[in-house]
Chains A and B, each alone.
Chain A
Amino acid sequence: MIRSGRWERRSAVAAGRIAAARAALADCRFCAHDCGVNRLAGEVGVCRAGAGPRVHLAQVEVADELELIPTFAIALSGCDLRCDFCITGAQSWNPLAGEIIPAAELATRAEAALAGGARTVMLLGGEPTIHLPFLLEVVAALPDEAKLVLKTNAHGSVVSRAFLHGLFDVWCADYKFGNDACAERLARVPNYTETVRENLLWAARQSDLIVRHLVMPGHVACCWAPVAEWLALHLPGVKVNLRSGFWPAWQARRHPELRGTVPDGEAARAREIAAEWDLNLVV
């Protein structure tokens, strides 16, 4: 992680990367789907996103980790995963949801929120990484001293990591599935485990990292248990937010086990597993 010296120049570093990120849209490999489509010419890959994003939400929120709130959350539409249980499925699966808001306007609103007591500015989605050029524009327009959070599905590529390096104080990253079969079935994403682990290890080296896992009904043994074990062994002491608020949103009904909330017994077992691995839980 680049420390204090970074903040004097973060906006300039981000600004200096914008042109290259825009050019990279012509052969998009921002996430591990590695589509290679020309988004500048109207081609679309798995995420269906065009060259520029829409914003489906920009407001001060308090639902995230206590150390981050209040946060000015900027949510970009579109995502490269297809999680059937997505809580913002209508916006995450549709990059045309929401409205076009220039980066400068978002930065102005973020600055007002910071002046009004917000502690951080959070970029999220959908998945913000699929909109890298715009992400860089926002960072370039924000004050250097603002504490920035990237909320991500950790499915980015080595290309996106190069563009993002050193720009965010905190990576708040999902580790949703404990095995590739569940990832394929519930989010239509191949090779999930290797990708997410690579991203988490990288993020931990260059920023503060909070790993989130949403406990899903019927997936404590197959998903949470291996995630907990891996985190304990490979990222000891990392902050882990074990989230219990699953609800059967969007298209969760496609999967019989996802048609309800997490039973009390499974929630308790999930907490036991966290304790067994001595995870550093945050709320």
Chain B
Amino acid sequence: MTDTELKQPPDGKRALVSEILILPDGRVLGHSLTRAFTQLLSELNPDDPQIRPRTPEAVASDTTAQEPAA
């Protein structure tokens, strides 16, 4: 399967891509994390200090998020 096929499923919608590695001790490493995937990870491990501030709720409650560019 090519990259293009991976990112454009047959229904024409663009797929979102995240990659994670689950370690034997339960830690989860990830990159290219989307909001939806971060939500899922936070439900699996609500105490993860890397994931917690990146959930949609946490980002939305960060009032600086909507500031215009300096």
Residues of chain A whose beta carbon lies under 8 Å from any beta carbon of chain B: 4, 7, 56-63, 66-67, 69-70, 73, 87-88, 90-91, 97-99, 117, 119, 145-147, 169, 245-247, 261, 283
Tell me the minimal C-beta distance from A52 to chain B in angstroms: 15
Query: B54–A69 contact, CB under 8 A?
Result: yes
Interface size on B, as a range, is 20 to 34
Interface members, chain B 52-70 (any A CB < 8 Å):
53-54, 59-60, 62, 64-66, 68-70
In the assembled complex, which residues on chain A have CB atoms less than 8 Å from the CB atom of B64?
Answer: 67
Q: Which residue of B lies closest to A208 (CB)?
A: B70
Cβ-closest chain B residue relative to A73? B32
Query: Which residues of B have CB within 8 Å of A69?
Result: 54, 59
Chain B interface residues (CB < 8 Å from chain A):
3-4, 7-8, 14, 16-17, 19, 21, 23, 29-35, 38, 50, 53-54, 59-60, 62, 64-66, 68-70
In the complex, what distance in Å separates the CA atom of A62 from the CA atom of B66? 15
When chains A and B are docked, how far (Å) is the Cα of A4 from the Cα of B70? Answer: 7
Cβ–Cβ < 8 Å partners of A98 in chain B: 3-4, 7
- Given A99-B4, A99-B8, A60 contacting B70 (CB threshold 8 A): no
Question: In the complex, A56 Cα to B19 Cα: how many Å?
Answer: 14
- Min CB distance, B56 to chain A, in Å? 8
Interface of A is mostly: loop
Given A98-B4, A99-B3, A62 and B54 contact (CB-CB distance below 8 Å): yes
The 9 A-B residue pairs with the shortest CB-CB distance, nearest first, are A147-B69, A63-B33, A62-B54, A245-B29, A99-B4, A247-B21, A97-B3, A98-B3, A59-B16
CB of A169 within 8 A of CB of B70, answer yes
Contact A63 B54 (CB under 8 A): yes
A90 to B38, CA, bound (A): 24
- Of chain B, the residue at the smallest CB distance from A118 is B65
Contact of B29 among A90, A145, A247, A283 (CB under 8 A): A247
The answer for the CA separation of A70 and B62 in the assembled complex, in Å, is 11
Say whether, besides A57-B17, A99-B4, A117-B60, A70 and B35 are in contact (CB < 8 Å): yes
Q: Tell me which of A61, A99, A147, A169 has the highest count of chain B C-beta atoms within 10 A of its own C-beta.
A: A61
Are the CB atoms of A56 and B34 closer together than 8 Å? Answer: no
Identify the interface centre among B7, B17, B32, B62: most chain A CB within 10 Å of its CB.
B32
User: Which residues of chain A are near B32, meaning CB under 8 Å?
Assistant: 57, 59, 61, 63, 73
Q: How far is the CA of A246 from the CA of B69 in the complex (A)?
A: 31
B59 touches A56 (CB 8 A): no
When the two chains form their complex, are residues B21 and A146 in contact, meaning their CB atoms are under 8 A apart? no
Given contacts A7-B69, A117-B66, A247-B21, contact A63 B31 (CB under 8 A): yes
